[in-house]
Every structure is written in C-alpha cells, then in structure tokens.
Amino acid sequence: MQQARAQDLGGNAEEGERLYYDFACYSCHGYNATMRVPLVGDASGIMNSEQLFLTYLRLRADQNPVNPKNSMPNYAVSTLSDEQAVDIYAYLRSLNDDPPELADNPVMQEMLDAAKARGKGNEK
Amino acid sequence: MTDAKRNKEKSGEISRRAFLGTSAGAAAASLLGKSEGAAAQTAPPAVRATLPGQSAEAADRDIGNARPPVAVRAVQRPGSDLMVQVLRDLEIEYVAANPAASFEGLQESIINYGDTPNKMPEFISALHEESSVDMAHGYAKAEGRPMAVLLHGTLGLMHSSMAIYQAYQYQTPILLIAGRDDTNFLRSQSANDIAGIVRSITKWDAHPRTLAGALDAIQEGYRQAITPPCGPALVVLDTELQKEEAGDMQVPAYVPPQITGISTGEVRAVAKALVAARNPRIAVGKLRTARGVSDAVELAELVGASTSTRATLVPMSFPQRHPLCGPGSDTDYDYTLGLETGGIQAAIIGPHRRTLEGRDVTGIGYGFIREPPTPLWGPYAPPKPSHNDMHADAEASLPAIIAEVHKIMSSSMSNAVAVRSKQHAAANHEAAVAALKKALEDRRRGWHGSPISLARLYAELWILIKDEDWCLASPTQFSSGHNRVLWDHNKPYSHLGMHGAGGIGYCIGASTGAALAAKHRDRIVINIQCDGDLNMVPGALWTAAHYRLPMLVVMHNNRAWHQELMYAQYMAGVRGRGGDRAHIGTTLRDPFISYAKMGEAYGVESEGPISDPSKLFAALKRGVDTVKQGRPYLIDVLTQPR
C-alpha cells in the first residue's frame, strides 16, 4: 500500500523546497543539494526513484540501535510523512547542476596549468 | 532585601549601575550621549557609591573619577623600565593588552621608556583579553617565538583563560604577564595566588617578590615558553615592583635555554641508517621554528629522502611542494625516520604536553578525560609512543645529524642521492598534478550555485594569492579545508592549523596576531572567518583596523553554528522527533547579521553580503589588493554550510 502510494503521489516541488529547508536537509547536502553528499543528477543512487528515496529514509528509522557510522539523520514516518518525503524528492529532482568542465573553467584551468608548470624539481 | 541594602536606600546611597538603570539615570546617560561636553557640565555629579569592602578611592575610580592612585610616586628609574628592557633584550615584538590598573606602571614604561619608545615591544590595544592571548597564539604559530600579553589581575586572567587553554593544548609559546595589586583599591580584583586560576593550563608560573626576581622571572618565563614542551608561561608582577625605584640595578644578560637533542650515539645511528638506506624516507610533523624546517629540508636533500608533511594542517612542517615531498618514485621505503611524528624504524619526538600533567593542580584532567589519554583534536595529536622513539626534540637534533651525514657520506653515495632525488621529484610532480586534477573534478559541483560553494571560494582566492607571500591563519575544518588539496603550503607559516581545543572565538584573534607578524614582513594574512567565531570577540577587527594590519577576512557566513545544527538534527532523528526544530538555538536567523556593517563599525573596509558567485572573484580581488596595501578588508560571503 505504502509503495503504491509513493509511486502514485508524485510530489509538490515547491512544498518540497520549504521542507528541504525546514528539515535542514541542506545542512549536509547543501542548499542546492550539490555539496558534501550531493543528491542532484546522478550523484546518488537513492535518487533513481521515489521508492528508493523513501526506502532509504525509512531504512534508517528501522535500525536499532542507530548505526553511529552513518551520519544521515533518522527520519521516521511519524516525523516526516510519505507525502512530505515525496515532496522533497520532487524538489530535488527539479534541481540541476551544470558546472563547467575543467577545461572550460578558467580558474580551475589556471590552477592546473600552474601546477603543471611548477616544473619537475626546479623549485623549493 | 538585606539590611545593608535597606540602609543604603534609606540614606540615599545608590550604586552607579543602579543609578544608570533608573529612568533618571537613563536620562542623564542619554544626555551625555547626545552632547557629551555640554551635558558633562550640567548633569548632576555622579553619586559616590560605597560598596562593602570598597575604599573611597575605589569608588571614585569606579564612577570614572579617575586620578592617579595614591601609590603613584615619581621615581628616577622605575622598575618597570627594567622590565621593558628585559622584553626588549628578548626581542619581544609586541605586547597585547586591554589596559588595566594593575600594570599601569609597566604599560607606561612600554609606551615611554628608552630612545625608541613603544617599539620592541610595541603596545597593541586589544578589546578583550581573550583576543590578546589569541593574537599571541597566532603570532607565535607564524613566527615560532612568543609575543607577550599583559593581563589584569584575576579578571583579565579569567577573561583570557579559554585562549590560554587553547595555546596550552597546541603547545604554543606565549609570555603572559599578569599585574597584581592587593595593596590599594583593587583587592576585589586580586587574590593571593592569581596564577592559580590558570596553573593547570600553563606550563610554568612565578610570582617574584623583588624587582631583581621579577627580571629573572620574565627571562625564565620566556625560556620556559620556548623550551619543549612549549606552552604559555605566566609571570605575576605586583604593581609595587613596577613602580619601585630601580636605582643602579642592572638588567641581567639573557641566557637562552639549552634544548636537548638526541644523544651522540643516536645521532650516529640515525645518520648511518639514512645513508645506508636504499630508499630512505623522512616523515615530518610539526617542528618548532623556521630554522627546524630549513634543517629538515637540508637533511632530506642531503640523503635524497622522499618526505611526508603536515604543512596542510599545521605550521612549521616540510614544504608541501618541495620536489622531495610526496610518495616518491619508490614507496618501498627501507628506513623511515620520523621528526615529531611516528617513523617506522625511528622517530625523534620531543616532550609533549602530557609531560605537564603534574601541573594540573586542580585535578581537572584537561584534555585527558578518557583512557588512554587522547587529545581532543586529531591533526596535532602527539604521536603514539613506540619502542622506536627517541625522546628528544627533533629540531634540536637535526644539526648534529646533518653534520654526521656530511661526515660519513662518500662521493659515490652523493651521486646515488642525486639520481634518486631526481626520480623522486619527477614522481612527486606527477602525483601532485594528478591529485590536483582529481580534487578539481570533485569540486566542480555546485560551481554556479548560490549560496556560494566553499570550494569555489578557495579556488578563486588561490588564483589571487598564489604568487604572494601569504599565511592562512584561520582553521579550515569548518569550511571543508579545501586549501589542503588546492593550495601550496610551502612556508613554515603557510597554514597555522586549528584552534588547539576547538574553542570558538580563536580565529579572528589568532588571525590578527598572524597579521601583526606579517605587517613588517611583506606578507598578507588570509582569514576564512566563521560567523559564529567572529561574534564571540569581534573587537579584534578594531585592532586590525587601528594597526593597519594586512588581513583579509572572508566570511564563511553560513548563518549558523553549523556543526551544532547537525548535532541537534541528528539527535532529534535518533529520538524519532524529526529535524524541523533543530535550527532552534543553532542558527543565526531573524535577524541575519550584517558582517560588512560590523566590519565598517570597527573601521575595516568591508563589503557584502555576496551570494552571487559571479561577483565573488572581483570582491576577492578588491580585498587582496587592499590588504597588499597594508589595510584589513572584510568580505561577507553567503556560503554553503560546508
């Protein structure tokens, strides 16, 4: 039942944006879900479907004791409903990250060129 | 209501604070604020308070009716002049202090004594004693030697105690001088043994009772501070000694400490092993001074050893981009020597903080709350003891090892070293470029995002400073430490490392101290400043502005005590109560704080907040250009949380 609901619900990305902020998801994933533990694009397998996303959230809630090696906070259904979680999922799927390639990023390219030009043992 | 208070009210006596707290008092204070000169003429005289145990002189002083205390007397050659001469002989460059009555004699000598008054040392005004000590902490990390701090009796010591604790944890040498006055009007601010307040978190203290003893104690305090295990040392100087007539007393000549290196036999064994090794390696931890760093470089070059460094985490380690620094061309090392860090075959490790446990007279057990003893912060953790350790200062051992290697190395060995060094250099260069390329790929994410990616901040800043002589004075773990892989840490002061005990408020003071060191050395200081830290002791900004210090403050403004936000969020999750209230008590919202306005209020040229990443580079350039001209600059950047 829960699985069917999740698949059918879709989600409200606008509401998901508010929830993403209120539940401080940004604290680890960044305001645009691109930092530290990125969720945008193909960065994380749990973003492949709503169901995977929900399963990951709830999996943590079922662990007892909570795995201290995993820094992902626990989100039980009693604190973050399926509907809310799916809204967050919809928001995350609405985000894009299109950073320039290394070769097209003048700052990064200058850094790399400087490192290459540092020579092979000529300076201290 | 107590009888005393009842009687006081009945008689019309009222304390200054109570006076200002009344509406009449507030009106008077308001008048003073609007037209200080005129109001001062017309406002009623402040009512004299007589608090229990407080003298009339103390009450006068407390209400601002300052006048020279009774103890002041004219002398031809005040004892404090000799104290300043001792500091001058020690080449103490700065003395930071918040002014106070218990060291007014010494302060007057610093600013007026000699042909070059207020130089060596120069009096540096700090707005809080915590800032004073943090400045000395940052200065000592950058220069490898102490500056001094003046502290006021019990109160200043208490204000500064967290900063002293962090210097103690980091084994940073600082010369602390506390003024003490228990003879006149400051008894409530004094105590029999004021050093006892910080005895458990200082290396050494003394309370001399004669002027001659005071001069000796200052010299000994300096020696103690710089002798491993280094740390803050405290000298308590009574006001009477500062004001005493010195007569024809002479300042004793300073005798530097003899810091012990490894034994002659150990020197021979280490040199022999390095020379005989097919592929030697030297692991370098945190040495004490720049001289130690240059000696480590000389030894590595002499024997053609690849090296590891901690220069991305601490000051005074091996240059990160030296051709020999890296894994080398062959990672099958047959002899590894550790210098203030663990080595496989041998390690020279000087006495560390744990040898000071006997100083913990209060039994608090600072930093050793668990067994086995573990320091609170990892990157400067003393290495674990091993049976291969030689317990002596590595830096003091290096000259003898170098001399012995010279003595036993043949010309054929030198040729082999040259070949090996060339191979290492090529391999290390290749490894460094590959590591940088991977690091950059990993940091492309969120490049155009807003708030601004910290990786982008570090990358763009690097472009602007890489050809300058710079010092990254701020801890970087809260801003994800991108410098460690993106920047080149080649100077002893490239990165000054962490707080010592994670105490917030350290960063702005320590960076200001590093900027004091940088001021006359054509160096600029970079401070990636956390917002929570700045709010603890922002007054250091004024010190930076007042002394025209070359410090670039780039705010890592994530509008939170973010580590604690994550803790609260995680705890709520563990307890099944959700994370939507974790922001309570952990965030700096409603209202947001304007750091540009804060900087301007203290006289620092400032701009921001900047949230558009396309505008960051230009702002950073304005900042670097200003700092290069010898003025501090603050840029408020709205950043990603980490």
pLDDT digit string, tens, across residues B371-420:
444 443 444 455 566 777 899 999 999 999 999 999 999 999 999 999 99
Cα distance from A30 to chain B (closest Cα, Å)?
Answer: 6
Residue B311 Cα distances to B266, B459, B545, angstroms? 27, 18, 29
The hierarchical CATH code for the domain B443-638 is: 3.40.50.970
Q: Which pLDDT score is estimated for B373? A: 43
Average pLDDT over residues A71-91: 90
Instruction: Say if A116 falls within a structural domain.
Output: no
Q: E strands within B219-377?
A: 232-238, 280-284, 306-308, 335-339, 346-348
Q: What is the pLDDT of residue B55?
A: 64
Query: pLDDT tens digits for B50-68?
Result: 445 556 666 666 666 655 5
Residue B76 neighbours by CB under 8 Å, 6+ apart:
B245
Residue written as token pair 């680890």: A28
Average pLDDT of chain A? 82
B529 — alpha (psi -120 to 50), left (phi > 0) or beta?
A: beta
Cβ of B642 and A60 within 8 Å? no
Residue B139: burial class (beta carbons within 10 Å; 0-12, 13-18, 19+):
buried
**What pLDDT is attached to residue B5?**
44
Residue A62 lies in a domain: yes
Q: Which residues contact A80 (CB under 8 A, 6 or more apart)?
A: A19, A23, A57, B578
- Which residues of chain B does CATH 3.40.50.970 include? 79-243, 443-638
**Cα–Cα distances in angstroms (integers) from residue B560 to residues B426, B522, B531, B590, B591, in the given order:** 45, 35, 7, 11, 12
Alpha helices per DSSP H over B234-389: 239-243, 264-276, 290-303
A121/B449 Cβ within 8 A: no
Query: Of the candidates B425, B456, B466, which has its C-beta nearest A114's C-beta?
Result: B466
CATH code (residue A70) = 1.10.760
Domain span including residue A75: 2-98
Q: Is residue A89 part of a domain?
A: yes
- Residue A32's pLDDT band, with cuts at 50, 70 and 90, is very high
Phi/psi for A77 (5° steps) reads -65, -25
Q: What is the ipTM of this complex?
A: 0.90
- Within a domain: A110: no
Burial A31-56 (b: 16+ CB within 10 A, else e): bbbbbbebbbeeebebbeebbebbeb
Please give the pLDDT value at position B49.
46
Does this model's pTM top 0.90?
no
Provide, rounded to the nearest whole percent, the portion of chain B with pLDDT above 70. Answer: 84
Q: Does domain B264-359+370-433 have CATH number 3.40.50?
A: yes
Encode pLDDT of B101-128 as tens digits: 899 999 999 999 999 999 999 999 999 9
Report the domain count for chain A.
1
Higher local confidence (pLDDT), B175 or B3: B175
Shortest Cα–Cα distance, A69 to chain B (Å): 12
Residue B615 burial (CB < 10 Å; 0-12/13-18/19+)?
middle
Residues of B in contact with A79 (CB under 8 A): 572-573, 576-580
Asked whether residue A111 is domain-assigned, the answer is no
Chain B hits for A61, Cβ within 8 Å: 576
* CB within 8 Å: B573 and A102: no
- B365 has pLDDT over 90: no
**Cα gap B316→B286, rounded to integer Å:** 5
Q: How far is A58 from chain B (nearest CA, A)?
A: 11
Task: Spell out which residues of chain B touch residue A27, defining contact as CB-CB under 8 Å.
Answer: 562, 565-566, 569, 582, 641
The answer, yes or no, to whether residue B12 has pLDDT greater than 60, is no
For residue B229, how far is the Cα from the chain centroid? Answer: 16
Q: In this structure, is residue A112 part of a structural domain?
A: no
CB atoms within 10 A of CB B400: 18
Q: Which fold has domain B79-243?
A: Rossmann fold (3.40.50)
In a domain, A35, yes or no: yes
> Residues 6 or more apart from A51 whose CB is under 8 A from it?
A3, A6, A7
Mean pLDDT of chain B: 88
Q: How far is B413 from chain A (nearest CA, A)?
A: 20
Interface test with B, best of A27, A42, A92, A112 (most B CBs within 10 A): A27
Q: How far apart are CA B70 and CA B345, in angstroms?
A: 66
Q: Which of B446, B463, B641 sits opposite A107 (nearest CB)?
A: B463
Tell me which of A77-91, B266-280, B587-601 is least confident: A77-91
- Of A29-38, B89-98, B109-118, B489-498, where does mean pLDDT reach its minimum? A29-38
**pLDDT value at residue B370:** 42
Non-local CB neighbours of B436 within 8 Å, separated by 6+ positions: A111, A112, A115, B485, B486
Looking at CA atoms only, how far is residue A1 from chain B in angstroms?
Answer: 23
Nearest CA in chain B to A25: B579
Query: Which helix (H) or strand (E) is A117 found in, with range?
Result: helix A106-117
- Higher local confidence (pLDDT), B480 or B358: B480
